[in-house]
Amino acid sequence: MNNATQCNHVRRMGGVTALVTWLVWGLGCGQAFDREAVLAEARKAGQRKDDREAVLREALAHAPHDAETRYDLGQVLLRSGRPFQARLQFFRTVRLDSTHRDALRHLGLLAYQAGDQTEALEMLERAVRAGAREAHIHDKLGILYSKAGWVEEAKAQVREALRLHPGHLRNRLNLATLNQETGAYDNARQELEGIVADFPNSWDAHFSLGKVYRELGQSEAAVLSLERALVLKSNDAEIHYQLGAARLQAGHLEGARSALQDAIRLSPEHAGAHYGLGQTHRRMGQPEKAKVALARFRELQREKVEQEGQPRAFLSYWRKGMAKDVEGDHTAAASALRKALRIYPNDLFTRILLWQVYHKQHREKKAGEMFHSIQSRLKGRRLSDVCTELGVLLMHRGVKEKAVEVLEEAVARDPGLERARYYLVVLYHRLGQPHREAAHTRALEARTTVR
């Protein structure tokens, strides 16, 4: 085919591929190949909803290292309801341009929505360093810092969110809560008094203000605020409890007893309400009733201490099991995981880990028994989904090799599981295994439907 015939053939081609092919073959038609023109035309044509993804993929086939085109593809995939394919393209964008603000922002927000707090924090921090200034990003960073226990950092983020979006109710409440948690009660009071003036129907603002008044010893003001909160949300045990405690503090014993009894009716195991009711009966000269209420309080406290001790022991055995498995000491790993399982017999994650350890020990009978016990506890869930959740948890705990093992189990059972594929791409990248990273990248990009 000569150049003239080739050009005519390309011009007659229909569909999306022809558009990019025309530009790529332009050199053969006497035109210089211009990569930027290819990408510009791809983006322009891509405004048509049906064509956009195909055009961008075709452009990337010829210019795979163009960060903006890859970012555009991520946006298209996100809008079409394929979040993990979108995250893959944003991740690849950031690999091409580590300061790509919009890709970092999308990665952070998508991770936040998926509950992946570690990745969300990292990506949103990088987005801010790259110049992102949206209020909702600082808001989410404030929440993430607060969950991590970094209260001062959280307050700084919430203040920045308020600077960018003054008057935002939730951000103002978050700042007041953080001030309260750090003992800055006067600052919390001032903020909350402003909020209830601006948002008189915000039950949580009245509730928080009532608690702050209690801390400041202003019991009558606390009662008024908590009564207003109760009008706005009548079936909340914690509001009834706080109101009862405020009334007791103010000396309104009948009202305190009524509120605390309502708290117990709504939440029978509310230890604070039983304690408050015991103190109220004592002050009302009802020692037998006080004795019963306080005995129940002590019983609940003992149960709480016992319950709090179980998670600590469980996590200790669980971590030891992980460490020994990574070290290759499968006997010690199995022993530790069995001890964890005695504390929480129905924990699927532990059973999956123990099942894999038994396989490594070539104890197939034990592995089979453990597998059957897992199946009996799935309750309609897919094992591949549970493995994915466990793999993500292990990744965030820093046990990357073990996370890979569990996620590979997930995709072996369901090759179309996009969430597992995405995290395998991320993990293999971090572990410096480009061939395996590329294999999962290809598998994820080949997906055309959501799983």
- E-assigned strand segments in 220-367: none
pLDDT at 15: 44
Q: 3-class SS at 346?
A: coil
pLDDT at 51: 74
Name the pTM for this structure. Answer: 0.78
Type of residue at 192? L
Helix axes 83-96, 67-79, angle to 10 degrees: 170
Domain with CATH 1.25.40.10 in the chain: 306-373, 378-451
Query: In whole angstroms, how far apart are CA 73 and each of 28, 83, 86?
Result: 28, 12, 8
Q: Does domain 306-373 match CATH 3.40.50.2000?
A: no
pLDDT per residue as tens digits for the range 314-352: 999 999 999 999 899 999 999 999 999 999 999 999 999
Q: Are 102 and 72 in contact (CB under 8 A)?
A: no
Burial class (CB in 10 A: 0-12, 13-18, 19+), 364: exposed
Q: Is 100 left (phi over 0), alpha (psi -120 to 50) or beta?
A: beta
Q: Are 19 and 41 in contact (CB under 8 A)?
A: yes
pLDDT at 443: 93
pLDDT per residue as tens digits for the range 210-253: 999 999 999 999 999 999 999 999 999 999 999 999 999 999 99
For 426, which DSSP code? H
CA 36 to chain centre: 38
Q: State the number of CA atoms in the 13 A half-sphere of 364 facing the CB.
A: 0
The whole-number mean pLDDT for each consecutive block of 10 residues of the chain, a chain of 451 residues, reads 41 43 45 54 56 84 90 92 94 96 96 91 96 95 93 95 93 93 93 96 96 96 97 96 96 96 96 96 96 95 82 91 92 95 93 95 94 93 95 90 94 94 94 95 76 46
DSSP-derived secondary structure for 150-218 = -HHHHHHHHHHHHHHSTT-HHHHHHHHHHHHHTT-HHHHHHHHHHHHHH-TT-HHHHHHHHHHHHHTT-
Residues 6+ apart with CB under 8 A from 76: 46, 52, 53, 56
Q: Which one of 1.25.40.10, 2.40.50.100, 3.40.50.2300, 3.50.50.60 gives the CATH number of domain 378-451?
A: 1.25.40.10
pLDDT at 264: 97
Nearest CA among 65, 113, 49 for reference residue 87: 113
CA 108 to chain centre: 10
